[in-house]
A and B are shown apart, each in its own frame.
Chain A
Amino acid sequence: MIISAQHLWLIPALPLLAAGIGALTPRGGRSLSAGAAIAAMVAAFILSCLALRTALIDPAAHQTFNFAWFDLGHGAVRLGFLLDPLTAFMCVMVTFVGALIFIFSTGYMKDDANFKQFFCFLSLFAAAMLGLLVANSLLLLFICWELVGLASYLLIGFWFHKPSAAAAAKKAFITTRIGDLGFLFGILWLYDARGTLLFFDGGHGVLEAASLSAMAGTTLSCGLALSTAIGLLIFCGAVGKSGQFPLHVWLPDAMEGPTPVSALIHAATMVAAGVFLIARVYPLMSADQVLASVPVHALTVVAFIGGITALMGACIAVAQNDIKRVLAFSTVSQLGYMMLALGVGSWVAAIFHLLTHAFFKALLFLGAGSVIHAAHHEQDMRSLGGLRGPMKTTFATFAIGMMALAGVPFLFSGFWSKEAILHAALEWDVSILPLIMGLAAVVLTAFYMTRLVAEVFFGKARSHAAEHAHESPATMTIPLVILAACAIALGFLGTPAFPWLQAKLLGEAEVHGHSLLVGAGLMGLSIVLVALGLGAGWAIYGRKLRQSATAKDPLETASPPLFAALAARLGFDELYAATVGRANLAFGALSAGFDRYVLGGTISFLTRFAHFTGVVSLENDESGLNAGFNATSEKLRGAGQSYSKAQTGDAHGYLRVLALAFVVLVLLVVLGGGR
């Protein structure tokens, strides 16, 4: 069976079908809903693998299948599907990780009353995410982008009876919407400039040479190239969705959702959509690189945002106590890495890290989910501890994930992808700062992950729930084991000695490997840094294990103000509440005032005017016409008064206005000279 571009719609359609089945099954149909979701994911995974095989036959080709959606003005709005290695790799990753997380969820959500809705939402999310991946049109991508946001909202707020979950869902939705507004403007501008939103369209697409050179050659009044401006607007959407500084605030709160959701959406797939988007429109983002005189290159902004996010996320993660929040901030930090890689010009390194990160972060979240499940929803790691004994499988797999994330050399996938990013940053000749931020984040990542593992799994149980923890059922541990295997194996797809993944993504038929010793200096430095972070973490948290849940953190005793600032997440939420929130309130009050005084005043003036005309016509009738019309004019006056309320509730009135308006319109057209 050959999967080519025109069959790609099947991949998102299958989970969508499962979502439909999930929506229509009665409350009791738990196994039907979950079974349909898992079966659809597995089938989509198989299709994705076939699509990957097709894509790898000729990695450089962009197979497209475009069709007209509807006619509009002088042209048609066209959508399409795109099959190239980037799409295919992402599809395989999303369906594979997704299927494992679905299976895990059957165990994790077993006791939830809304079990079948959960799978319905998960399938909806998967469908939207896969649709986003296979889109060949920025419009189709945007539609799926927003659907992904909707599914994320539904799933974060899945336990909506918890006020914090409902608030987190709203926060995630609104924060990402701010970025999406920029994205939408970028799309509209692009459509205005190029008249199409297709990526590849036989030479006419927006990502093809003619379009790119035209956009890079157009200079706006502010000195930016057109492609830079549009690229930065599109980047706004990625900033929102991928939790980049300064819109990262929603991602940690999103951990209010069930843990499989955190693993699937807020670690492995959805947040990676922003990185995918930038990688997809990378030709557009980099179109201005040929221009020397522009004030700023789009990719420079991306690199600095990524670097800042990577460092800031890692700093904040050091001082969090909730096991899921640590992982959330580490996700923020890792997404910063990916953006950094995009910004310094190596989008393949970004995608490599995206793929490896998806596996080991899903592994970490599911491991955390297993811990939380076992400890009866205790998430505070100060109250856990000593779980190494009772939860052997979880501990072993979690440790693998932790080492992959920390970048322990050679064996783990995170090491290779992180190395690729750091090398790309080293070769970037604009600034050295992103490299330094990235290296600093390496130390911090190793440090906070050591802290997490030491607090959760070592020492003695510090609460009743942790004492009675037991290993999770097989539906939960088997996905963990599979993901752990992938977290190790995946790295070897892209080592410097055999950069198969990079070559395929770039569309090269041959794999040009080179020795591991190229760039060994930087590799050695980062190995030293990882060792430093691990050692510092073990020295502070591992040797002197926490004795009780209320004991102070060693860092807190060392430097209380710094720790407090980090624990409060550097005060971004408060800052936004004080600035954006307050400005919003003020604007709301202003709008209310405008509504009440200006609009209200106008309307009451119009009302008086209508009343006045009513009175005048009444007087006219009484003096000019006989008394028989008095009643009529009385009614006219009543009608004049009722104009003060646009809604009369009188269906006859509506129809009458409609008919008279039609007459007036025709007369206007005729008397105005027609056409």
Chain B
Amino acid sequence: MIFALITIALFTLAAAAIAMSLRNLVHSALLLVVSWAGVAMFYLWAGAEFLAFAQALIYLGAISMVVLFAVLLTRRSLAELDPAIDGKWRGVTALYTGGAVAAVLFGAVLFTPLNFAAGPVRSFTVRQLGEQLMGPQVAAVLVVGVILTVALLGGVVLAAASRRHDKEDAS
């Protein structure tokens, strides 16, 4: 059990870390997909099957595609991927900052007594989930639906409006 968890964790972390350090954007994006798959595996491990499939559909299926499209659409700037003039300083401070946050988080986790009994994997059926979502949480589901719709429209409007500006710029 724990072995499986540690494997999934190391796999996910390694993929994420490499993705964040690669120069090539396409490779970065693909490795991040692997990392998200690792998170999905974690959900499976924890007994949240529905979430695992949701993660797979949304992140592996949808967001990865959007990211790849974005990368390819802005490909002309790939030449700028070389470290900028202040790249080294940025990297060093980022590592320091991340290290400080990591130290605080790890310290907090390690020094907190967490006395929860580690029971067997208990499943939360999709039926129960559906009853929760359509019962007490139905208002929240509706709100999320509206948010997603608005975000979708907003994305379309943002991307489309810029094209018109291009034409105005060109003329």
Contacts and interface: CB of A to CB of B under 8 A. Distances in A.
Q: Do chains A and B touch in the complex (CB under 8 A)?
A: yes
Contacts of A635: 86, 89
B94 A656 contact: yes
A660 interface: yes
Interface string A647-661: 000001000100110
B131 to A, nearest CB: 25
A632 B94 contact: no
Shortest 5 CB-CB distances between A and B: which pairs?
A: A663-B100, A635-B89, A666-B104, A659-B97, A663-B104
B114 to A, nearest CB: 17
Contact of A656 (B88, B97, B104, B108): B97
A631 interface: yes
Interface residues of A, number: 11
A660 B95 CA distance: 12
Contacts of B147: none
Interface in A620-675: 631-632, 635, 652, 656, 659-660, 662-663, 666-667
A666 B102 CA distance: 12
A301 to B, nearest CB: 47
Interface of B: 86, 88-90, 92-94, 97-98, 100-101, 103-104, 108
Contact of A660 (B89, B90, B97, B103): B97
A662 B108 CA distance: 13
A662 B104 CA distance: 9
12 contacts: A631-B89, A635-B86, A652-B94, A656-B93, A656-B94, A656-B97, A659-B98, A659-B100, A659-B101, A662-B104, A663-B103, A667-B104
A635 B87 CA distance: 12
Chain B interface secondary structure, helix, strand, loop or mixed?
A: helix
Nearest to B93: A656
B78 to A, nearest CB: 20
Given A631-B89, A632-B89, 5 more contacts: A659-B97, A659-B101, A660-B97, A662-B104, A666-B104
Chain A interface secondary structure, helix, strand, loop or mixed?
A: helix
Nearest to A667: B104
B100 A660 contact: yes
Contacts of B104: 662-663, 666-667
Given A656-B97, A659-B100, A632 B92 contact: yes
Contact of A663 (B86, B93, B94, B101): B101
Contacts of A659: 97-98, 100-101
A523 to B, nearest CB: 61
Nearest to A665: B104
Contacts of A663: 100-101, 103-104
Contacts of A632: 89, 92
Contacts of B89: 631-632, 635
Contacts of B86: 635
Nearest to B86: A635
Nearest to A634: B89
A662 B92 contact: no
Contacts of B103: 663
Contacts of A667: 104
Interface in A317-358: none
A652 B92 CA distance: 13
Contacts of A656: 93-94, 97
Nearest to B105: A666
B147 to A, nearest CB: 20
A543 B26 CA distance: 96
Nearest to B111: A670
Nearest to A629: B92
Contacts of B88: 631
Nearest to B94: A656
